[in-house]
Structure 1
Amino acid sequence: MTDLTGRTAVITGGGSGLGAAIARALHAAGAHVIVVGRDAEKLGRVVDELGPRARALTCDVADAASVDELRARLDGTEVSILVNNAGIPGPVAALTDIDVDDWDEVFAVNVRGTFLLCKALLPGMVARGEGDVINVASVSGKRPLAHRTPYCASKIAVIGLTSTLAFEVGPAGVRVNSLSPGPVQGPRMERNFRLEAERSGTSVDDAEHAFVSRAALGRMVTEHEVGAAVIAMLGMPGMCGADIDLSAGMVA
């Protein structure tokens, strides 16, 4: 396993799901872990689970003032790993039925949040001449997914942000990459399958089967696999500006 002893990582959306799984993987690899999110109770449970070398800071990544406050609270902390994981799935509906406010909320969290955290923490990495940013995108940004236009559009925006930012800060020794998971086992996908079943008039099992049958492995990936992928990416010093597909072959 890649040894991250002595490095400090910030993980947004770190109170549950993929964020918590990534925090566990980073902590197991030796990093000091700072989980960031809006729900102090959830963040506290992750910190209690991890124990030493872990702490929690509340922040609304879509709010510039909240991110500025987070940056101030991190003053003096050498953050060398930033995982922009915070995201929301948004509505499941035809584009013509989506409210403008719902569209804007998806982009505020998924794209604006990534931008604001990079803007806040990259200067320190650039000044020190080293660092890693991993933006969590999705295979849904790279292939059609009907009735999920705001989510898909936001995730392809994250991939575009990643590839461009890599060329801005790569010369300073900072690597920027994105990780695109496919469907991940857990509450979020269960919610999506329920909504799709209601929309299409099928069963939840049928909705799930139709979705995962598109993958070469015929299954979803796990939260543990996503955490392991982050560690693997951090162990590849020559990788910058890449988007890594972790989808069980969803876009093979």
Structure 2
Amino acid sequence: MTDEAVTAGALEGRRALVTGAGSGLGRSIACELARHGAETILVGRTRSTLEAVAAVIGPASEVQVADVGDAAEVERLAAALHGREPDLLVNNAGIGGPVANLVDIEPDAWDEVFRINVRGVYLMCRAFAPAMVARGAGDIINLASVTGKRPLVGRTPYAASKMAVIGLTATLAFELGQSGVRVNTLSPGPVDGDRMRRNFALESARSGITLGAAEEDFVSRSALRRMVTEQEVADAVVAMLAFPAMTGADIDLSAGMIAR
């Protein structure tokens, strides 16, 4: 993605809300949705990063600061958007959490991962699904991960939280399906970017191996022996919207880290 203004496209007339939109996957997803014509609502905890993304997208974007794991803040967000609720919700906000063996993870650190990664998805769906139901149409795409579908030593809270999102999605798809609302999960594999670089550094420190060895060990688990890119994940979000019969699905985008 470049910092040039994005252009209109196939999603004209849709209003998309993307959480964690100030950086990384959220930034790429928001810009790709906007490039295809969607009006975008950028949600995150840091106004400056959100405003930088809004500057790239242009006037078809809006910044809303909120912590998705805080019920009061989500309620304030919903009130601010009353009457112009999104018909496309992308729950991308998430944190990696600690890198340590389970027995060495403090309860507060465990709880914080679930507060953002699972409670945040629950609160956002709870706040914005009713307007989709009333409209008789809408899409919710929850970002999960291939982590948890195969072992990743030292990442139990993250793995457990992302598998919880997959279960939430499957059940919510049945709750909302008869109302015309689709709910799907996108599960990326390792995404090349700042977060993975931090994870490699943490794994290097934890295990005593070099940074390069930590990256190679992780990437070697995929069939294509590479990470996926932020743009590929953003493209996948747009592609998922093109299948009217898709709901309750969990789409792996992992360069073959998961094969089934």
In structure 2, the residue matched to 1:203 is: 210
User: 1:138 aligned to 2:145?
Assistant: yes
Secondary structure of the structure 2 residue equivalent to 1:82: strand
In structure 2, the residue matched to 1:176 is: 183
In structure 2, the residue matched to 1:74 is: 81
User: 1:19 aligned to 2:26?
Assistant: yes
User: Could you tell me how far apart the structure 1 residues matched to 2:117 and 2:207 are?
Assistant: 27
In structure 1, the residue matched to 2:173 is: 166
Q: Give, in angstroms, the shift of residue 142 of structure 1.
A: 1.3
Q: Give, in angstroms, the shift of residue 78 of structure 1.
A: 3.7
User: Could you tell me how far apart the structure 2 residues matched to 1:141 and 1:72 are?
Assistant: 35
User: Could you tell me how far apart the structure 2 residues matched to 1:201 and 1:141 are?
Assistant: 23
- Whichever residue aligns with residue 154 of structure 1, its letter is S
User: Could you tell me how far apart the structure 2 residues matched to 1:41 and 1:141 are?
Assistant: 33
- Whichever residue aligns with residue 64 of structure 1, its letter is A
User: Which 4+ stretches in 1 moved above 4 angstroms?
Assistant: none
User: Could you tell me how far apart the structure 2 residues matched to 1:197 and 1:12 are?
Assistant: 30
User: 1:46 aligned to 2:40?
Assistant: no
Q: Deviations over 1:56-81 (max 9, x none)?
A: 10001000000000000001104100
Secondary structure of the structure 2 residue equivalent to 1:34: strand
In structure 2, the residue matched to 1:192 is: 199
% identical equivalent positions: 61
Conservation of the 8 A alpha-carbon contact between 2:85 and 2:128: no
TM-score by length of 1: 0.99
Conservation of the 8 A alpha-carbon contact between 1:2 and 1:232: no
Q: Deviations over 1:73-110 (max 9, x none)?
A: 00110410000000000000000000100000000000
Q: Deviations over 1:189-243 (max 9, x none)?
A: 0011111111111110011001000101100000000000000001111100000
Q: Give, in angstroms, the shift of residue 2 of structure 1.
A: 7.3
In structure 1, the residue matched to 2:134 is: 127
Secondary structure of the structure 1 residue equivalent to 2:87: strand
Secondary structure of the structure 2 residue equivalent to 1:244: strand
User: Could you tell me how far apart the structure 1 residues matched to 2:166 and 2:128 are?
Assistant: 19
Secondary structure of the structure 2 residue equivalent to 1:112: helix
Q: Give, in angstroms, the shift of residue 178 of structure 1.
A: 0.3
Q: Deviations over 1:152-204 (max 9, x none)?
A: 00000000000000000011000000000000001100011111111111110
Give the paired residue count. 252
In structure 2, the residue matched to 1:228 is: 235
In structure 2, the residue matched to 1:213 is: 220
What root-mean-square deviation, in Å, do the aligned CA atoms of Structure 1 and Structure 2 show?
Answer: 1.0
Conservation of the 8 A alpha-carbon contact between 2:9 and 2:35: no
Q: 1:152 aligns with which of 152, 156, 159?
A: 159
Q: Deviations over 1:26-47 (max 9, x none)?
A: 0011000001000001000000
Q: Give, in angstroms, the shift of residue 141 of structure 1.
A: 2.6
Instruction: Give unmatched runs, 5+ long, in structure 2.
Output: 1-7
Conservation of the 8 A alpha-carbon contact between 1:35 and 1:56: yes
User: Could you tell me how far apart the structure 1 residues matched to 2:120 and 2:11 are?
Assistant: 25
